[in-house]
Amino acid sequence: MSTGIAKYAGLLLAPGAWAINTQLGQILPYVDCGAGVSWSTVASFVAVAVAFAGTVVSHARFGPSEARTNLFVAKLNVLAGLAFVFALLMQGAAAMLLDPCLR
């Protein structure tokens, strides 16, 4: 990832993963119920990993030589990324706890 975009990784990957997982949450329960495999759980924790990766990439931009504004953007991305990691962990927990066939 180019260094210019890297500082935005937390704000691109984490909300992106969360948005996709939220949509999958409307689709996969029907699949899970029939298949007996919790793809919702798998998708949620893959999304957690992607969101966390985005956060880590942004965090890697922290450094004493970084320009003030770049550092601000990187920190903003790390904090936002963590917020979405938390949201995705909650979705993952729900996927583990609930029966996908429940209506």
Is 52 a binder of another protein (CB under 8 A)? Answer: no
Which of the stretches 49-57, 58-66, 83-91 binds another protein when contact is defined by CB under 8 A? 83-91
**Could you tell me the smallest distance in angstroms from the CB atom of residue 67 to another protein?**
9
Is 5 a binder of another protein (CB under 8 A)? Answer: no
User: CA 25 from chain center: how many Å?
Assistant: 14
CA distance readout (Å), 6 to 3, 10, 33, 38, 78: 5, 8, 39, 33, 11
Is 35 a binder of another protein (CB under 8 A)? Answer: no
Q: Which residue stretches of 1-67 are H helix?
A: 3-6, 9-35, 39-59
The letter for the amino acid at 90 is: M
Binding site for another protein (CB under 8 A): 11, 15, 18-19, 21-22, 25-26, 29-30, 32-33, 40, 68-69, 72-73, 75-76, 79-80, 83-84, 86-87, 90-91, 93-95, 98-103
